[in-house]
């Protein structure tokens, strides 16, 4: 998608929204595209309208023109157009020859910079979607680390560490999940340290990146197992958000930690009944090898805090129970600090990433009490799965503000979503929200 901006000029080719049309109605005339939207016409409806307009031209290419009058409209139109123009067919033979779609945005001069900014952001949303849609035989943990290192940006350094280093660091939870795979696991660490960042604040971004999840010995059902290539969407989101923030030059210090491996089974795979020791010294009884994401995050969260992150937010496709609770539209999140939560809530609303805060309560800790270790990695009761997972993670976050995003439903969808004209696969959830959160920290 290419974006051109200009000041209002009475263009005779533009997109127009009529609130009295039925949602999703698309009609063409020679010079006008009319897209129905529900009333009231909010930012989300406009984002969807822009996506539907772009989708109508995706197969043939061309130019679609919009007039925007305020900042919210600019965001919605740029983002929606990118959603509708995205093609998930990365491995189709004709992918490289797909036609180009151009967005011509008629907007006041003072909004042109915002349009350029959002174009940068959605480019990284698309990159996160590409990562999620790459097959597991192509996107291994080592390949994900190579992708992170390909972001050659000012003030950004990237390093990655393999199996021996992970074990030497005492990351017994992470190492156990990786033990069953021949693919080398990777702890990916990105640092963004702009010279004008305020002292005393480092935003930690932690991502789960299981490049394929069979469930391990606690094997998943075969139906839709192919979608388990998307179990790395949290890692994709924090990598691409870090790159977007650096490209925009936001003055906020970042420490990004991504734990990446496959979760598969062989003779070395970890088992139900095993007891693991995490990097912070706490022991974990394994109840279910398919509750592996929280084990990766345990060591990654501890590493981020010990490495200087003052505020931590993690993103993970963590629990099926969150998908059951919120479907594929909202992500659920948790926070241990209300001031940090207020920043996150504001970032979610500005970015348009739908998010709903869930409770943390110490009484949920009993769900992961173990007779044999400090805790266990799941519960046999089948209750409050997303909440008990958050309480498990809290054991490894150290002192300071922390938030956890369970993006299981919203980050990788199994069927088309009419809003935003989303195809099955990765959605890039989290990139826009993280950029807005960094913007708030930069302005503080």
Tell me the mean pLDDT in the region 192-214: 97
Q: At residue 13, does pLDDT exceed 80?
A: no
Instruction: Judge whether 239 and 232 are in contact, CB under 8 Å.
Output: no
Q: At residue 12, does pLDDT exceed 50?
A: no
- Portion of the chain with pLDDT greater than 90, in percent: 88
pLDDT digits 0-9 by tens, 23-59: 333 333 333 445 554 556 789 999 999 999 999 999 8
Banded pLDDT at 6 (limits 50, 70, 90):
low
- Residues 335 and 390: their CA atoms lie apart, in Å, by 9
The pLDDT, as a whole number, for residue 7 is 53
Q: Which residue has the higher pLDDT, 180 or 18?
A: 180
**How is residue 63 annotated by DSSP?**
E
The pLDDT, as a whole number, for residue 231 is 98
Beta strands 331-335 and 355-357, pairing class: parallel
The pLDDT, as a whole number, for residue 444 is 75
Among 3-7, 216-220, 265-269, 320-324, where is mean pLDDT lowest? Answer: 3-7
Domains, in order of start, for the chain: 2-107 (3.40.220.10), 127-443 (3.40.630.10)
Banded pLDDT at 159 (limits 50, 70, 90):
very high
The pLDDT, as a whole number, for residue 1 is 73
User: Mind spelling out the 3-state secondary structure of 335-351?
Assistant: ECCHHHHHHHHHHHHHH
Task: Please state the φ and ψ torsions of residue 406, each to the nearest 5 degrees.
Answer: -95, 105
Instruction: Judge whether 49 and 35 are in contact, CB under 8 Å.
Output: yes
- Residues 384 and 171: their CA atoms lie apart, in Å, by 27
Instruction: Judge whether 431 and 121 are in contact, CB under 8 Å.
Output: yes
Instruction: Judge whether 17 and 46 are in contact, CB under 8 Å.
Output: yes
Across the beta sheet with 402-406, what order do the strands follow?
156-161, 186-192, 253-263, 202-213, 311-316, 402-406, 331-335, 355-357
Q: Which residue has the higher pLDDT, 18 or 128?
A: 128
The pLDDT, as a whole number, for residue 435 is 98
The pLDDT, as a whole number, for residue 2 is 72
DSSP 252-316: -EEEEEEEEEEE--STT---TT-EEE-TTS-EEE-S-TT--HHHHHHHHHHHHHHTT-SEEEEEE
**220 has catalytic annotation:** yes
The pLDDT, as a whole number, for residue 18 is 31
Banded pLDDT at 91 (limits 50, 70, 90):
very high
Q: At residue 168, does pLDDT exceed 70?
A: yes
The pLDDT, as a whole number, for residue 40 is 65
Tell me the mean pLDDT in the region 116-137: 98
- Residues 358 and 405: their CA atoms lie apart, in Å, by 10
The pLDDT, as a whole number, for residue 11 is 30
pLDDT averaged over every residue in the chain: 92
**28 has catalytic annotation:** no
Instruction: Judge whether 257 and 304 are in contact, CB under 8 Å.
Output: yes
The pLDDT, as a whole number, for residue 42 is 87
Task: Please state the φ and ψ torsions of residue 408, each to the nearest 5 degrees.
Answer: -55, -40
- Residues 275 and 281: their CA atoms lie apart, in Å, by 12
Q: At residue 226, does pLDDT exceed 50?
A: yes
Please identify which of the residues 58, 67, 98, 220 carries the catalytic annotation. 220
Please identify which of the residues 294, 305, 376, 417 carries the catalytic annotation. 294
């Amino acid at each position: 998608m290419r974006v051109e901006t200009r000041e209002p000029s009475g263009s005779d080719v533009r997109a127009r929204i009529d609130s009295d049309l039925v949602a999703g109605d698309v009609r063409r005339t020679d010079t006008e595209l009319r897209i129905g939207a529900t009333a009231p016409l909010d930012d989300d409806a406009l984002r969807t309208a822009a996506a539907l307009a772009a989708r109508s031209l995706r197969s043939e290419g061309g130019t679609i023109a919009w007039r925007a009058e305020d900042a919210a409209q600019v965001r919605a139109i740029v983002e929606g157009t990118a959603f509708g123009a995205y093609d998930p067919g990365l491995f189709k033979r004709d992918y490289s020859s797909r036609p180009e779609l151009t967005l011509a945005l008629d907007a006041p001069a003072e909004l042109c910079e915002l349009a350029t900014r959002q174009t940068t952001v959605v480019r990284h949303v698309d990159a996160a979607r590409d990562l999620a849609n790459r097959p597991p035989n192509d996107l291994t943990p080592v390949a994900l680390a190579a992708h992170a290192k390909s972001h050659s940006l000012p003030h950004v350094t990237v390093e990655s560490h393999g199996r021996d280093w992970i074990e030497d660091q005492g990351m017994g939870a992470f190492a156990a999940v990786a033990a069953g795979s021949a693919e080398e696991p990777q702890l990916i660490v990105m640092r963004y340290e702009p010279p004008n960042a305020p002292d005393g604040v480092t935003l930690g971004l932690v991502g789960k990146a299981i490049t394929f999840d069979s469930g391990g010995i606690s094997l998943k059902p075969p139906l839709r197992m192919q979608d388990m290539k998307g179990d790395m969407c949290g890692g994709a989101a924090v990598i691409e958000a870090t790159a977007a923030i650096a490209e925009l030059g936001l003055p906020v210090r970042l420490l990004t930690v991504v734990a990446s491996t496959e979760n598969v089974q062989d003779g070395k795979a970890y088992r139900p009944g095993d007891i693991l020791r995490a990097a912070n010294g706490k022991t974990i009884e394994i109840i279910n090898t398919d509750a592996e994401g929280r084990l990766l995050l345990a060591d990654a969260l501890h590493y981020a805090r010990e490495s200087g992150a003052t505020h931590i937010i993690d993103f993970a496709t963590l629990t099926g129970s969150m998908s059951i609770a919120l479907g594929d539209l909202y992500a659920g999140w948790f926070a241990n600090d209300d001031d940090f939560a207020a920043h996150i809530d504001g970032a979610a609303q500005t970015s348009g990433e739908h998010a709903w805060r869930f409770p943390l309560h110490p009484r949920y800790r009993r769900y992961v009490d173990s007779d044999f270790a400090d805790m266990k990695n799941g519960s046999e009761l089948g209750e409050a799965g997303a909440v008990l997972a958050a309480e498990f993670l809290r054991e490894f976050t150290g002192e300071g503000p922390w938030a956890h995003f369970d993006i299981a439903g919203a980050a990788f969808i199994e069927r088309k979503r009419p809003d935003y004209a989303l195809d099955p696969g990765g959605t890039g959830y989290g990139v826009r929200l993280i950029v807005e959160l960094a913007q708030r920290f930069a302005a503080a």
